[in-house]
Amino acid sequence: MKKRILLLAGGQSGEHEVSLMSARSVLNALPRDQFDVTPVVISKQGRWLPPTETQRALESGEAPSGGDLVLHRAASAEGYDAVFPLLHGPMGEDGTVQGLLTLAGIPFVGSGVLGSAVSMDKVMTKQVLASAGIPQVAWQLAVRREWQQQPDSVRDRAAGLEYPLFVKPANLGSSVGISKVARAEDLDAALNLAFRLDRRVILEAMTAHKPREVEVGILGNDAPIASPVGELQFAADFYDYETKYTEGRATMHIPAPLPADVAEQVRTLALRAFRALDCAGLARVDFFYLEETGELLLNEVNTMPGFTTTSMYPKLFEAAGLSYSALVTRLVELALEDR
């Protein structure tokens, strides 16, 4: 019998549009002889749209208002064999939807509550990975209340990291709200921007020179495998939203032109991170590679990476011989697997 799949897309985060792009690709690729797929778009207001409005949102790339409250719809999600929560960012990739689905007793693609929540928060990720002995940049946490009441203590910690540094909302993606701060004068604006989007903000040291950016895909539950390593090249100062989503701004190189031992180390570190964070199903693990010293620093772990047919994660597995549609099929199988 065909498996009934509920594909969730859109969502309330700043990555709403990116999720809709990913979902269109997955919807087209899930083999129809094996799956009955029902897409449901979640509006930016957090409403689950009925079929006609969902269809319209997928076609137009934006979600109108209307729809049902999440909890109301979750109860009726019972008729599905599995959910594919193709949502990026907070209220989707961060364990919230995963908690809802866990309560509803429906298997779903990707990491559970713990792996999703810890991987979404860049500070929590760094703490867990530090305890697993994984090399990372130096960093500092700042919370909104401290920024409002003792801004100098935040400024001092930033100065301790040295400029240029990166300021990021702790829980976001697609580079939304991220600034590269070259001088102390620009710090306040960067913090104000990040704190508009999150209560927790991470300050990160930058590596001495512009690092090379390499990424690897992980697939599996408790016996995960790593894809070949890919590299991103672009002219921009850093890999910002514009560069990520404007056609032709960045080039993917698969496999990355790296010495074999470095590529192997990327895969080993990524698998170790995936396990340390209790991830499941899939993750894209991003690194900085400093050519001068041969150093590899883990940047972050994305538990629901960009998923269009031209996105890095599916391209990495395609290079390993797994087509896009075989990959999404495998992800549903992993969701249904006993662990």
Give the burial class of 274: count Cβ atoms within 10 A of its Cβ; 0-12 exposed, 13-18 middle, 19 or more buried: buried
Residue 306 is among the residues annotated as catalytic for this protein:
yes
The residue from 80, 108, 166, 313 that contacts ligand ATP (CB under 6 A) is 166
Whether 284 is catalytic: yes
Is 218 within 8 Å of 224 (Cβ atoms)? yes
Piece in contact with Mg ion (CB under 5 A), picked from 43-51, 158-166, 244-252, 281-289: 281-289
Give strand pairing partners of 108.
83
In sign, the C-alpha dihedral spanning 333, 282, 22, 29 is: negative
In the bound state, the residue with its beta carbon closest to Mg ion is 173
Which member of 43, 171, 174, 227 is catalytic? 174
Does residue 7 sit in helix, strand or coil? strand
Asked whether 29 and 328 are in contact (CB, 8 A), the reply is: yes
318 is catalytic: no
Active site residue 157: no
Name the active-site residue from 95, 112, 177, 306: 306
Q: Is 80 a catalytic residue?
A: no
Q: Does 198 bind ligand ATP (CB under 6 A)?
A: no
Is 211 a binding residue for Mg ion by CB under 5 A? The answer is: no
**If binding is defined by CB under 6 A, does position 239 make contact with ligand ATP?**
yes
Q: Which of 53, 213, 231, 318 binds ligand ATP (CB under 6 A)?
A: 213
Q: Which of 10, 13, 15, 230 is catalytic?
A: 15
Q: Tell me which of 302, 313, 318, 324 is the catalytic residue.
A: 302
Site for ligand ATP in 269-308 (CB under 6 A): 286, 299-300, 302
- Site for ligand ATP (CB under 6 A): which residue of 14, 173, 224, 230? 173
Q: 165: which strand partners? A: 181, 205
Secondary structure (DSSP) of 160-180: HH-SSEEEEESS--TTTT-EE
Report, in this order, helix, strand and coil percent for the chain, each rounded to 5: 40, 25, 35
Catalytic (active-site) positions: 15, 174, 245, 284, 286, 300, 302, 306
